[in-house]
């Protein structure tokens, strides 16, 4: 199933959906997809004129592929401009993912601060792509393309604090408008930046993730390349803390992200 097929499925049946194994990430399903599906279930409960401003995501446990999962939603508060929403992905009677979302309508303001300039990167055609290799890379990578421009690939012993390059959906066969759900997948597609510091394979996973969206969203296509850069801010005791941003090809800011990751090495 393509990404768009799964989004359509959760909109129709949020209470019973199985994630195909082709969207796997080790023994779990791809976290960016789970967050995107939970977001879609939450989006349906909020007025259309209130775009999502931020999501705080906790991956409580792995979402098993090919096992039914339900996406539950509670609207905690509806204010004059802001809706606070809680989403829970449930599998086998257990919470596997929690998402707290803030949705807010725009309002007049005297404050306007432009984003910092996006970093310069080589053209995607001149960058190394991380290929999908069955049995060697996560299964979900058959659906997403990443091309490195800064830092190193996982397990190459590159100790740079920065890692990034270009990312987009791969082989969807359709030109669709990019939504917040797509952005969740594009940002989380990148492996924990700490993995590039290692010289041999080891497991790593996101523990918590906060992402903020620049509204209104840019008019982008799923065939467009986006620019991603993450900076490791601190790491010790098996945990790392990193901040990232996503931009359009021409350098317009799309989203800001922070993650706490666990590294088993």
d(Cα 116, Cα 111) in Å, to the nearest integer? 16
Rounded to 5 degrees, what angle do the CA atoms 165, 98, 102 make?
A: 75
In 3D space, the residue among 101, 111, 90, 13 whose CA is nearest the CA of residue 50 turns out to be: 101
Q: List strands edge to edge, sheet with 94-104.
A: 70-78, 82-91, 94-104, 52-59, 204-213, 253-263, 239-247, 226-236, 162-169, 144-150, 128-129
- Give the residue ranges of DSSP H helices in the chain: 3-12, 31-43, 180-188
Relative orientation angle of helices 180-188 and 3-12, to the nearest 10 degrees: 130
Q: Tens of pLDDT along the chain (265 residues)?
A: 899 999 999 999 888 899 999 999 988 999 999 999 999 999 999 999 999 999 999 999 999 999 999 999 999 999 999 999 999 999 999 999 999 999 999 999 999 999 999 999 999 999 999 888 888 888 999 999 999 999 999 999 999 999 999 999 986 556 889 999 999 999 999 999 999 999 998 988 899 999 999 999 999 999 999 999 999 999 999 999 999 999 999 999 999 999 999 998 8
Q: Which fold has domain 117-265?
A: Porin (2.40.160)
Cα 57 to the center of its chain, rounded Å: 10
Backbone angles phi, psi at 258, to 5 degrees: -135, 140
| pLDDT of the residue at 174 | 67
Q: Which CATH superfamily is domain 1-106 in?
A: Hotdog Thioesterase (3.10.129.10)
Domain boundaries, the chain: 1-106, 117-265
| pLDDT of the residue at 76 | 98
Token readout for 18 is 């199985």
| pLDDT of the residue at 30 | 95
């Amino acid at each position: 199933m393509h990404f768009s097929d799964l989004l359509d499925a959760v909109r129709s049946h949020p209470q019973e959906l199985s994630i195909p194994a082709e969207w796997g990430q080790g023994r779990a399903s791809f976290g960016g997809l789970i967050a995107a599906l939970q977001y879609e279930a939450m989006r349906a409960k909020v007025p259309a004129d209130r775009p999502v401003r931020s999501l705080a995501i906790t991956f409580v446990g792995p979402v098993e592929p090919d096992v039914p999962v339900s996406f539950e939603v509670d609207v905690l508060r509806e204010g004059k401009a802001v809706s606070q929403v809680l989403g829970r992905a449930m599998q086998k009677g257990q919470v596997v993912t929690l998402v707290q979302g803030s949705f807010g309508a725009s309002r007049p303001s005297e404050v306007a601060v432009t984003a910092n300039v996006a970093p310069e990167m080589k053209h995607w055609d001149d960058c190394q792509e991380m290929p999908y290799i069955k049995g060697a890379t996560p299964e979900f990578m058959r659906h997403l393309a990443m091309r490195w421009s800064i830092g190193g690939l996982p397990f190459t012993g590159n100790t740079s604090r920065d890692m990034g390059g270009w990312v987009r959906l791969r082989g969807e066969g359709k030109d669709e408008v990019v939504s917040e759900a797509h952005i969740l997948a594009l940002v989380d597609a990148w492996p924990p930046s700490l993995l590039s510091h290692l010289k041999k394979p080891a497991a790593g996973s996101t523990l918590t993730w906060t992402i903020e969206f620049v509204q209104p969203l840019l008019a982008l296509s799923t065939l467009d390349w986006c620019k991603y850069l993450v900076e490791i801010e601190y790491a010790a005791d098996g945990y790392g803390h990193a901040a990232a941003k996503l931009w359009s090809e021409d350098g317009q800011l799309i989203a800001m992200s922070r993650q706490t990751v666990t590294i088993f090495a």
